[in-house]
Amino acid sequence: MKLLDLITSPWALLPEQLREIQHIYAVHLRGDKIDIPAIEARLGRPLANEQQAYQVQAGGVAVLRLEGVMAPKANLFMQISGGVSTQMATLQVESAMADPRVRSLVLAIDSPGGSVFGTPELAAAILELSAIKPIVTVTDATLASAAYWVGSAANAVFITGPTVQVGSIGVVASHNYDPRAGATTTEITAGKYKRIASSTAPLSEDGRAYIQGQVDHLYSVFVDAVATHRGTTADAVLAHMADGRIHIGQQAIDAGLVDGFATLDAIVSQLAADPGDFSTRRKARISAASATSAQSAGVQPATAPAPVPVLPSAHVNPQKDIIMPITREQLAADAPEVLAAIQTEATAAGATQERERIAAVRAQALPGHEALIEALAFDGKTTGAEAAMAILAAEKQQRSAQAAALAADAPAPVQLAPAATVAATNPEAAAADAAIAWLASRRKAA
């Protein structure tokens, strides 16, 4: 990629940073020598021109620092302005995920954004690899534009204090027509759009529309990526996060851009103790305060739905490293309308569930157990299955009692006479026996 292609392409960067970079490149493209020692003297510090490598700390927590403007490669741009090569950063993230010493990764980012080239690829790598090992983003200064595109791909995003700047979700492109004295350029092209926004001629209306279309498309890609990263919808991103504004401290939390306040050391300690705390992706929590702020700025979702109260993010104390869960009292003080909406919704849901429970209990009715069914239906806790078991137990007990009552009411059994000890006399049988005996005696006599 040529330097001119890079500097004239769309950027996801704070506008003032882009103007500074364009000035540096203008000097370079004119052929003037850039005096690096003079720049360092003016800044009072050496230029940061080396890509950071991740460092493995106790507990298997790797920390990768990404500081400065983002661009695809380490080149003259990084030498002059310092910054982040998105290609090298992608390799660092991939290496950390493959490193057996590493259990989790922290991205310590301080960047105003950068070129759109290479940014989606780095963010996609972070999004994919965060499912293998937990990745958390922490910023102590600026997380804007392309830097937020990258940082939001982690499982969670934290800021260290109330003055940290987050956001500026948007895309900017510029067209510079600055013909040099005495220079004439003639371009011969084929294809309607080949040089519709030529840098050697003033920008036409068609050229402006062409560049606007490119910027709009990249903006939609950016918005969709943030929605995926933060577990929300593109409409929510457009309404609360992606109007190009910078959100400071609590504003970023209210807008759902970040998950709370926490220092780098606190996140490293928490990951070392239990990386599982960040194994799943945190979802954006957009507060009512952010909704009001967005509406006052004239920002509406694409479909302009009716505003829905959203639970505020956890109440945090920026002076401590502890993220404290919000209490009912805090919610009542900070967002009473949200609390009222939650209570109304909970009451309606509870009433529906209670009606369904009563119907399930009454469906188990058996004749003779009407009183028990009504008692179970209105005890506020018995389920339909539990009512069925109770009715069967009552039916069994009732039948056992009925059997016992029948046995008690039956007459006493009749005493049977003992069996005869002497055979009963039968005249006919006796005569027959006598005849047989007489015949036997006659035979003996004969």
Q: Which helix (H) or strand (E) holds 62?
A: strand 61-67
51-65, 318-332, 341-355 — which one is most confidently predicted on average?
Answer: 51-65
The verdict on whether 145 is a catalytic residue reads yes
Q: How far apart are CA 406 and CA 113, in angstroms?
A: 91
The verdict on whether 194 is a catalytic residue reads yes
257-to-105, 149, 230, 242, 360 alpha-carbon distances in Å: 20, 11, 8, 10, 44
Residues comprising the chain, all counted: 446
Instruction: Write down the pLDDT at residue 372.
Output: 86
Nearest Cα residue to 198 out of 177, 214, 216? 177
Contacts of 254 (CB under 8 A, 6+ apart): 247, 286, 287, 289, 290, 293, 312, 313
Q: What is the CATH number of domain 3-179+190-326?
A: 3.90.226.10
Per-residue pLDDT of 53-69, as tens digits, reads 899 999 999 999 998 88
| 3-state class (DSSP) for residue 80 | helix
pLDDT at 118 over 50: yes
- The identity of residue 374, as a single letter, is E
The pTM of the full predicted model, rounded to 2 decimals, is 0.57
Of 104, 145, 152, 168, which is the active-site residue?
A: 145
Of 194, 283, 320, 396, which is the active-site residue?
A: 194
Q: How far apart are CA 339 and CA 407, in angstroms?
A: 64
pLDDT range class, residue 321, cuts 50, 70, 90 = very low
Instruction: Write down the pLDDT at residue 332.
Output: 67
Contacts of 390 (CB under 8 A, 6+ apart): 372, 376, 382
| 3-state class (DSSP) for residue 71 | strand
Per-residue pLDDT of 193-223, as tens digits, reads 555 555 656 767 777 787 788 888 888 999 9
Q: Which helix (H) or strand (E) holds 338?
A: helix 336-362
| Per-domain residue ranges of the chain | 3-179+190-326, 336-404
Per-residue pLDDT of 153-189, as tens digits, reads 999 999 999 999 999 898 776 665 555 544 555 555 5
Instruction: Write down the pLDDT at residue 106.
Output: 98
Q: How far apart are CA 260 and CA 37, in angstroms?
A: 40
Q: Assign residue 376 a region: left if phi > 0, alpha if psi is -120 to 50, beta otherwise?
A: alpha
